[in-house]
Amino acid sequence: MKYFFLILLGMTVLSCKSQTKTDLLALKFDESISGIVQADPQLKKDQDPNLGLNAFRTNQPGNYNIGDIKLSTYSFPTGYPADYNQLYLFVEDKDKANYLGFKYNTVHQEETKAIISYLKKTYPKYEERATQGNGESFFWDLPTLNAWVFIDQGISKDKNAKQFLSTNFIYVKRGTRMENSKDSKVITIKEYDKMMYPDVLK
């Protein structure tokens, strides 16, 4: 009976550990996330297709949070094969897993609303940018966190021609340049986003 209790206790501890969520906003810039990478076999070396940043990518982001919001492993029910949630953890270079931020692309409509609401409430000073009707776009400059935050949306259509939003949540160290460049002639992520959404509404 004693051994059974110990086994049960051990299983409970392991279960709790497996359910531990990593808050992506709480991770420190420039610190190694190799432990996170080793603990999550779904994370694979990759590169962000738009920003060119080195990253570890997963389409099973259920072990991560953005603040109070739990991320989900999700595919849009009537969408195409590419319509699923993805998480990129940005790192300094391919062989040095020092944290630079993340990009979370989600097609989960209610989750999107919850994350936007959380960020607006937590960080009330932000810019809203014109998108010509293609969803919404927001930008936060957070000097106390040494971070930039971007929300960019696009309108997609499912197999029934029904529209839905695909949303990018990007959190990155201030000053980060495209393709992890150290060259001052290369534009920053902020400058790139400003080129994409030049007109400020708020």
The domain segmentation of the chain, as residue ranges, is 22-196
User: Which residue numbers in the chain have pLDDT < 70?
Assistant: 1-20, 202
Strand locations in 67-185 (E): 69-70, 86-93, 96-106, 127-129, 137-142, 147-157, 163-173
- Give me the pLDDT at residue 7, please: 42
Q: What is the pLDDT of residues 103-123, one digit of tens each?
A: 999 999 999 999 999 999 999
- Give me the pLDDT at residue 14, please: 39
Q: Are 50 and 178 in contact (CB under 8 A)?
A: no
